[in-house]
Amino acid sequence: MHADNWYILGAGSIGCLWAASLCHKGLTPRLILRESSYQRFEHKRIPLKLSTQKQVKCFDIDIVSPGAIDSPINRLIVCTKAHDALAAVCSVESHLTDSCQILLLQNGMGSQQAISDTFPEQIVWAGSSTDGAYLSAPFDVCHAGQGQTWIGPIRKHKDSTQGFNGLLENFRLKVSQYDAIEQKLWEKLAINCCINGLTALFNCRNGELLDNDEKQTWLNQLIAETSRVLTALDIETPSLQECVYGVCQATANNISSTCQDARQGRATELPFINGFLIDKAHALGIPVDNHRKLMDQLRASGIQ
């Protein structure tokens, strides 16, 4: 049996990164796969490879499916995309203890609140991360960019100081507790909602948005609209234009995750990024015509 059961839901890039990092710390997390994926594996203990620029490490890890979980879950780290997160947590609902702590690592906003509302008994945390990881093959993860992850409880809870303390020290990922986690989620969303959708629409690298032409004009309009929403919500951020331009310059050669999803014909997380912003703006009565136009044109191009 697993005394302090750590479960990771979703065995993609971030799920494998967090699973390997917990193994590196000496913990024994288990990776939860979809039932259909799990059935394809004959062996339920599999090698998990973690590569960085400096080294490669291998760990053995148990995989499970919702139907194969045989111990209560009291630590769950959710590593699916935003649009899959609620259904994924619901698939393991019967295994969650009442005091289970759930950490949500999705980009964007909206999915965290939906899960927190659906699971009022459990202590739900959200995280915002600048780590970069990708899978070279199943269970073979490359930690390409060492970043910073902020985590904080979504609702105030008397036990929430205990939650994920174990991740704050002696952990190969840089994790800090940040109680006003919504602020961090907004900071990242504000930048992503200016850059990601545009890169998908123009099928371009981040740096190409600063073209002194059509793309940059649209980028500036998105920045102005987003800034007005942030101001109305009393969310203090440094100059959004400086942040967005800084990201475009620092990651000029990168292809955003949204552009990659669009290229592969996968659903993007934009409904939880620009979609969330548009809903908030609507509730506040702030026009965000350029965000709407962007979403309309993406839809017309078959990008969801």
Cβ proximity to ligand NAP, 133 vs 200, nearer residue: 133
- Angle, helix 240-250 to helix 214-232, in steps of 10 degrees: 140
Stretch that binds ligand NAP, among 27-35, 204-212, 220-228, 229-237 (CB under 6 A): 27-35
The yes or no reply on residue 258 touching ligand NAP (CB under 6 A) is no
Phi, psi of 280 (to 5 degrees): -65, -45
Touching ligand NAP, residues 262-291 (CB under 6 A):
269
- Residue written as tokens 């005091």? 99
How far, in Å, CA of 160 to CA of 164, rounded?
8
Query: In the bound complex, what is the minimum distance in angstroms from residue 64's beta carbon to ligand NAP?
Result: 10
Query: Of 81, 188, 280, 293, which one is the catalytic site residue?
Result: 188
Cβ proximity to ligand NAP, 106 vs 227, nearer residue: 106
The yes or no reply on residue 9 touching ligand NAP (CB under 6 A) is yes
By CB under 6 A, name the one of 5, 74, 101, 106 that touches ligand NAP.
Answer: 106
Catalytic-residue membership of 81: no
Burial 246-277 (b: 16+ CB within 10 A, else e): ebbeebeebbbbbbebbeeeeebbbbbbbbbb
Beta-bridged to residue 126, according to DSSP, are 104, 152
Phi, psi of 291 (to 5 degrees): -65, -40
By CB under 6 A, name the one of 131, 182, 187, 225 that touches ligand NAP.
Answer: 131
How far, in Å, CA of 138 to CA of 152, rounded?
30
The yes or no reply on residue 132 touching ligand NAP (CB under 6 A) is yes
Note the residue count of the chain.
304
Cβ proximity to ligand NAP, 23 vs 32, nearer residue: 32
The yes or no reply on residue 187 touching ligand NAP (CB under 6 A) is no
How far, in Å, CA of 88 to CA of 111, rounded?
11
Cβ proximity to ligand NAP, 33 vs 295, nearer residue: 33
Catalytic residues: 188
Residues interacting with ligand NAP, by CB under 6 A? 9-15, 32-34, 37, 79-82, 84, 87-88, 91, 105-107, 129, 131-133, 257, 269
